[in-house]
Amino acid sequence: MAFFSTALAGKRVLRMLGAAALSLAACAGAARAAYPDRPIRLIVPTGAGGITDVLARLVGQHLGTQLGQPVVVENKAGASGVIGSQFVAQASPDGYTLLFAFPTHVANPSTIKSLPYDTANDFTPIGRVGQVTEVLLVNKDSDIHTVADLLKKARDSKSRLNYGSVGAGSQGDICTLVFEAQAGIKLEAVPYKSEPEMLTALIRNDLQVAFTSPPAALPQIRAGKVRAVAVSSAQRLAQLPDVPTVAEAGLKGYDVTGWNGLFAPKGTPKPVIDALNRALNQALKDRTVIEQFQSLGVPVLGGTPEQLQQAVVRDITMIKQTLGSVGYTPQ
């Protein structure tokens, strides 16, 4: 009888030890599963030093503070952002490799014949970061002071105005094409490799008009080298309070803006996306972030993953229709 009691007690001890081991294993697994538990890579698909890179580094710093882990920015430039975007699309969907996308992200499906990923479906949205508004500029000595002046001049059969473009599908190009369509005018595109090159041409008066990003435009406006006629967004820019929107200046309903957004690879777990979205929105509420974004002419956005995905689908469609209306063929 004592033998059976001892044996039963031994079995109970073994069961207790087994349960304890399983519990410890579960705890260890939970600890390993805590996100994030190591540095996060933030891929910027442009070169270092540009506006996208500046914004990404600012966001990355404050995102890391919220998450309690370093966010390391890596530039993977080339092919209008395709190289960096492809890298993220093919990365492990664990939340440790993210993409900081800029407006060309949603233009590429319309300008590049064959992409190595599906822009709308191969990325998991996290949240919008900042709004990209364009400023309509003319030379400081131009006789164009308002949108009405520009339209009158463009409709004059003796005038042939040209505009600067840094590429089909670029934010400035889309702004111009929508402007032409709504106003019923035609401007002649002159290609440039970069915004600084385009602005130099505008300052020399080799170019009549150009839609340009605020970070590039503001220093030249403040230096008195160019004149701001209007902004492309539905609201005025805080940095240019006296400059009307295109809609206010005569083209009602005109509102053409882009955005920067944060994405993870397709299949990233929802709890990870939720954690990243919370951290992003908290980072974008930081006064330092807001002030630095504003100094660059980039209003802070934030919001839900769903809002970012809606913007992706909407803008891919809009850009495709806009470029299709002028007969553009993807290259």
Q: By three-state DSSP, how is residue 230 classified?
A: strand
Say what the pLDDT of residue 27 is: 47
Q: Which helix (H) or strand (E) holds 15?
A: helix 2-33
- Kindly provide the b/e burial profile for residues 191-209, where b requires at least 16 CB atoms within 10 angstroms of the residue's own CB: ebeebeebbebbbeeebbb
Say what the pLDDT of residue 17 is: 44
| Chunked mean pLDDT (size 10), the chain, 331 residues | 45 48 45 82 94 95 97 96 97 98 96 96 98 97 96 85 91 94 93 93 96 94 97 95 96 95 98 98 96 94 98 96 88 83
- CA torsion, points 192, 193, 199, 204, in degrees to nearest 10? -60
Interatomic CA distance for residues 292 and 287, integer angstroms: 9
By CB atoms closer than 10 A (0-12, 13-18, 19+), residue 83 is: middle
Q: Nearest to residue 89, comparing CAs of 67, 108, 72?
A: 108
Q: Which domains are delineated in the chain? A: 40-132+257-325 (3.40.190.150), 135-231 (3.40.190.10)
Contact 81/99 with Cβ under 8 angstroms? no
Interatomic CA distance for residues 234 and 255, integer angstroms: 5
Helices assigned H by DSSP within 92-168: 104-111, 147-155
How far apart, in Å, are the Cα atoms of 84 and each of 41, 42, 57, 102, 312?
12, 10, 16, 11, 17
Query: What is the spatial order of strands in the sheet that 188-191 belongs to?
Result: 188-191, 162-165, 209-212, 135-139, 226-231
Interatomic CA distance for residues 203 and 220, integer angstroms: 9
How far apart, in Å, are the Cα atoms of 12 and each of 24, 26, 313?
18, 21, 60
